[in-house]
Structure 1
Amino acid sequence: MASSPDVPSAGNTPENPGNGSPSEAPQTAGTATGGERRGRVRARRAAVMAVPATLVAATLAVLTAQGALGVQFAISGMPFTVTATELDGTGFEQFGGLDNMAEGSPNAGDTGGQELVVTSAIKNATLDHLCQSVDLGGTNLLITAGSGATKVTASDLATDSTQLSGDAAFNNIEIGNDASTLTKAGVKGPIGVFSQQADTVRIAHLRQTNYATTAGVFKLPGLKLRFSGSGC
């Protein structure tokens, strides 16, 4: 007796395969979130490559650059405020960069673990009435120094900032240098990066929001460290 030919069922046709055929897996929310995060990281890197430098009248020039590197350690991702009634420096350089947080940092948020910063390098600096504070959530860790006759001094000082303001004056300033050719503070940035440098810099009413500070020598006369209900 001849067997009946195989007839595809209504739910299992070439146009409509059944459960045995592979189907396209739907995109999960986690995959979408990961794609968005990678997109934000790419956009942040592109910003460093594309943002031109801007000179703000009557304040310190804030320069962003085209691919500079920030500090060479992983930042906490917690910004801190620095103020001084006056900063005087010899050998000044400034260019932009990216600082990176430790992998998996809880402070990364939607930044992708990176912060776009302005790097300011000063060969030798003095600061009057220095104040530094970091918001710990409900309280502030406050450091003050140089409030007496002896000022704070620093050599090979570098700060990575997202905000900087004050009344600034420069001597023999050069704007538009390639960062790889800087000579005033002993720091060289990557080739092709927009930068500026000057023989001297003076900033009255200095205020910075920083993510990192480094120095070869940092002397803090009259240092006081304490918790406070308010910052600088």
Structure 2
Amino acid sequence: MPTNDLLTLRLLSGNFGLHIVVDELISKGRAAMSEQTAPIEPGQPSSGVRWRRFAVTLGTVAVGAAGMVVLTAQGVLGAQFAISGMPFTVTADKLEGTGFEQFATLDQMIPDSPNQGDTGGQVVVIVSAIDKAELTNLCQSISLGGINLRITAGGSGKPVTARTLVVDGDEIAGNASFRNINVGQDASTVDQVPGVKGNPGVFAQQADTVTINNLRQNNYATTAAVFTLPNLHMGFSSDGC
């Protein structure tokens, strides 16, 4: 379903047949996993930051917080890591991206994770991948039980920038515009983000560009080849994003 016109939509989990993908994955025994490998950029060191590796208890989070300060990552961040199973909220006044893909997959927790509940250690997620992204007034928060770890960046006219940004979440909301969008493409054939594809037979969509105003996401994992956060502030707060 290609089009050369600007298409304005409202993104919600389940639109554009994403609910079809979720049903399909469940019916196949929740066995499909996509490979999302971020390429190493020439001359860039292969180091990375994984936002989702927050500890369960406040004490261990405080101990590890110093390592979170270095949130400008350059290198490869593999999307195939065991998630903690703790969702986190991300908001932004505006997201602008070049090269956009979206499809569904499964994220895995470690065996017998204390966060698995009745999920069996697997979470059905929507993968949203962007080759080059800018986010204005980014906010990320995770509830730690009575208090939130809150990160803000990208204000004062200096947006957050990312390369090969891959976000796994189960809810997306905002006012979105896509240019040259294909809806219903096979996920194994998407090509807007180098190295990021879904499984054969899985419903996907891709577009040349994406703009989302008033973005709000419920996420389980974020990876990027390069992630730069100007005006970064991190701290504990009674309020989330």
For Structure 1 versus Structure 2, the TM-score category normalised by the shorter chain is: 0.7 to 0.9
Task: Quote the residue 2:152 is aligned against.
Answer: 144
Aligned AA (2:203): F
1:86 aligns with 2:50: no
1:205 aligns with 2:169: no
CA distance in 2, matches of 1:129, 1:142: 13
Task: Quote the residue 1:69 is aligned against.
Answer: 33
The Cα offsets for residues 176-195 of structure 1, whole Å up to 9 and x where unpaired, read as 11111111112111111110
Match of 1:194 among 175, 181, 203: 203
Counterparts of 1:23-172 in structure 2, within 5 Å, are: 58-60=9-11, 62=13, 63-64=18-19, 65=21, 66-67=24-25, 68-69=32-33, 71-172=79-180
CA distance in 2, matches of 1:61, 1:199: 20
Task: Quote the residue 2:75 is aligned against.
Answer: none
> How many residues in Structure 1 have an aligned counterpart in Structure 2?
176
CA distance in 1, matches of 2:176, 2:87: 23
1:220 aligns with 2:229: yes
Would the alpha carbon gap of residues 219 and 150 (structure 1) be closer, same or farther in structure 2, given more than 3 Å must change?
Answer: same
Which structure is higher in RCO with an 8 Å CA cutoff and minimum separation 6? 2
The Cα offsets for residues 116-154 of structure 1, whole Å up to 9 and x where unpaired, read as 100000000000000000000010000000011211000
CA distance in 2, matches of 1:188, 1:161: 16
Q: Which structure 1 residue ranges, 5 or more long, are not aligned?
A: 1-56
Classify the secondary structure of the residue corresponding to 2:188.
Answer: helix
CA distance in 2, matches of 1:176, 1:203: 20
Aligned AA (1:195): A
TM-score, normalised via structure 2 length:
0.71
Q: Say what the alpha-carbon RMSD is for the aligned residues.
A: 1.3
Classify the secondary structure of the residue corresponding to 1:180.
Answer: helix
Would the alpha carbon gap of residues 61 and 140 (structure 1) be closer, same or farther in structure 2, given more than 3 Å must change?
Answer: closer
Classify the secondary structure of the residue corresponding to 1:197.
Answer: strand
CA distance in 2, matches of 1:196, 1:61: 14
Q: Which structure 2 residue ranges, 5 or more long, are not aligned?
A: 1-7, 26-31, 35-78
Tell me how far 1:59 sits from its aligned partner: 1.1
Task: Give the percent of matched residue pairs that are identical in Structure 1 and Structure 2.
Answer: 57
Question: Which structure has the greater CA radius of gyration?
Answer: 1
